Amino acid sequence: MIRQKSFDEGQICLYLVATPIGNLQELTPRAISILSEVDLIAAEDTRNTMKLLSHFDIHTKVIAHHSHNEKQSTEGIIQLLHEGKNIALVSDAGYPLISDPGQTLVPRAIEEGYAVIPVNGSSAMLSALVASGLCAMPFYFHGFLPAKTSAARKELETLKTMKCTMVFYEAPHRIEDTLCVMQEVLGNRKISLCRELTKRFEEFIRGNISEVLEVVSELKGEMVVVVEGAAEESIEEINVMEMVHQLIEEGYSTSGAIKETAKRTGVSKNEIYRQVHASE
């Protein structure tokens, strides 16, 4: 067990600082204070971060930590923490680790005994979800689907029975293909397509996938797609035992297969355990 008290004095810290997703006014006073006070800022793109720091008159030294140097950079940052440096990790926009670098660094920092402290701020995922008009809880965040259509289709097949609302990120040049594959695999569900969040041209387009596809070719900017979950009746048609057995054949343990089936179908783990043990 590792127990962390984030506001204890004298400890060396790795701060995970959320940065604005478009509107600079959304950088919080606490984030400005942390970025000003740490010894170093590890940034996904140093050029973008320098523009942000310049706007707020912050002069902290910036180093690179991005997807192409993540493994090597992680070791360098751990060494800097060993040397007693407090470090802030930032991505280009929103939270580090959410479809951005940091997933390698954070577990290592925790392992090494350093405090890992989140500093709240903007989130494209949450902004899109709460304004979507779809059920906000429970929800599942997926991030980006694979770029290849065949791989995206395969991934959506594993998600199509989930009852909860799903949230995806997508780039403008891929949005039409992605919505077409979603309609093919998930059916013509209700969605909310959100683009340019917090910026001048912020827009929410709500409707069925087929309706949104009518206008999608004219859209620009980074996008978040919020998709309604599977209808209750489609869940009832699923043979959960069949899915459990299939997953075991694919290499899952019995317990792992039950958890994965619960995740995919929305049927409770306890109910699936009951069915599995009743069949033994």
The reply to whether 3 falls in a domain is no
Q: Are 15 and 88 in contact (CB under 8 A)?
A: yes
Same domain for 223 and 243: no
The reply to whether 7 falls in a domain is no
Q: Containing domain of residue 274, as a range?
A: 238-279
**Counting Cβ atoms within 10 Å, is residue 62 exposed (0-12), middle (13-18) or buried (19+)?**
buried
Same domain for 215 and 262: no
Q: Is the pLDDT of residue 235 over 60?
A: no
Question: Structural domain tally of the chain?
Answer: 3
Q: Are 241 and 276 in contact (CB under 8 A)?
A: yes
What type of residue sits at position 217? Answer: S
**58-80 residue pLDDT tens:** 999 999 988 788 888 999 999 99
**What predicted TM-score, i.e. pTM, was given to this entire model?**
0.78
**142-195 residue pLDDT tens:** 999 999 999 999 999 999 889 899 999 999 999 999 999 999 999 999 999 999
Over residues 91-96, mean pLDDT: 92
Q: Are 12 and 84 in contact (CB under 8 A)?
A: yes
Same domain for 217 and 272: no
The sheet carrying 61-64 orders its strands as: 61-64, 40-43, 87-90, 13-17, 115-119
**203-213 residue pLDDT tens:** 999 999 999 99
Domain finish residue from 65, 96, 122: 122
Q: Given this model, what pLDDT does residue 68 score?
A: 81
Over residues 256-261, mean pLDDT: 86
Same domain for 81 and 18: yes
The reply to whether 92 falls in a domain is yes
